[in-house]
Amino acid sequence: MKKAVFLILSGIIFLFTGVAGAAELKVPDWLKEVDVNGFASAGYNYNFNEPYSRNINFRPFNNRDNTFGLELAQLVFHKDAAAPGSTGFNLDLNYGYTVPAAIHSTGQSSSGDFDVKQAFVSYVAPVGNGLKLDAGKFITEFGAEVIEGYAGWNYNYSRSLLFYYTIPYTHTGLRGTYVFNDRLTLIGCVANGWDNVTDNNGGKTVFIHAAMTPAANTTLNVKYIVGPEQNDNNNNLRHVLNLNFGITVLEKLVFSADYVYGFEKNVPGIGDSDWTGIAGVFRYPVSDKLAMNVRAELFNDSDGVRTGTKQDMWEFTLTPEYTINANMLLRAEYRHDQSNKKVFDGKDALDSKHQDTIGLNVIYHF
């Protein structure tokens, strides 16, 4: 509170007395080292099924038909730690009407439209090139897509099925990062589990991530996570293997691929279950302002453990993107989803095997 009062008081003095008056209040040294960034995303989506429920099924982040929405407003305070012996922190505060509620971790007091996306402290231990340790809550290493924010956003407006249904969003625990050279980085973590602030059992989840650059303009990420995720059960382990590949060819054409295989032992009411999926994204910058992004994916939830229905799904997404200026981005989108089961709302509940949507999204970041 004292920090907020100081900033407000400085602004008031500046408005009424000018720079000279504001200069009398000395800015603390710690405040000079803190960076502040922001991000806002708003959009409109329309479902051609014209569902009675006004839902866009299997789309937690932009899930309402024929609706304008403020999906996310983010403010980030951070002091990066890089050199051995240095310390830092990261605090991501999210507000919005879809994203925060969808990624809200269990164990937090439910706040609906508000979420602490990340909150961790960092220390670079003087070991070799420097072993970076992060303690607290942080977004997952898994997947090819991200929970968007000032630090980065996806090529497509809507997220993939793999993003929503095959991997976690966040972890709370201890993460270590070691950069061997410009070709190999290893990241390891021990955490409470998937999207848990307070653990739901007596076990812990661990993962390892090898980030590699085997050749110029080529990246390969190999990730594996294992741990007990069922309530009050330390024995039934959940395993996920995730591979991400990216390459730039013909100078401008970017291709990325995302593969996920998951297995969980003895899921209550289902038994041993697995799921798998693969997605590919192409991006081609037509000009300095305009880019075309295309995604296609297949997702098999043969036991219904991830979506609640035994089904095979696929989707195709086309997202033209226009850069208005250095801080603003505009995206339009057409998407087709298909299942071998009737899982999409239409005039009646779950009466369609397909869903076609269009969307318009604007992003501002600083």
Place of tokens 């219904």: 304
The mean pLDDT value for 253-275 works out to 97
Contact 192, 168 (CB under 8 A): no
Residue 17's pLDDT is 47
Q: Tell me the Ramachandran region of residue 162: left when phi exceeds 0, alpha when psi lies from -120 to 50, beta otherwise.
A: alpha
Assign 25 a pLDDT band (cuts: 50, 70, 90): low
Percent of the chain with pLDDT over 90: 84
Look at residues 359, 346, 361 and name the one whose alpha carbon lies nearest to residue 57: 346
Task: Using alpha carbons, list the distances in angstroms from residue 27 to 7, 75, 79, 86.
Answer: 9, 21, 16, 22
Is pLDDT at 44 greater than 80 in this prediction? Answer: yes
Residue 62's alpha-carbon distances to 18, 71, 176, 335, 349, in angstroms, are 44, 7, 33, 12, 19
Domain 33-365 annotated CATH 3.40.50.1220: no
Strand 35-47, strand 354-365: pairing: antiparallel
Domain limits of the chain? 1-32, 33-365
What pLDDT is attached to residue 26?
Answer: 67
Is residue 128 very low, low, confident or very high in pLDDT (cuts 50, 70, 90)?
very high
- Helix runs in 34-113, H state only: 99-103
Nearest of 142, 171, 146 to residue 277 by alpha carbon: 142
Residue whose C-alpha is closest to residue 305's, from 265, 266, 340, 273: 273
Q: How confident is the model at residue 109 (pLDDT cuts 50, 70, 90)?
A: low
- Say which amino acid occupies 138: F
Whether residue 228 is predicted with pLDDT greater than 60 in this model: the reply is yes
- DSSP letter at 24 equals T
pLDDT digits (tens, 9 = 90+) for 285-311: 999 999 999 999 999 999 999 999 999
Give mean pLDDT, residues 46-63. 95
Please indicate, yes or no, whether the overall pTM of this predicted structure exceeds 0.85.
Answer: yes
pLDDT at 103: 86
Q: What is the pLDDT of residue 97?
A: 85
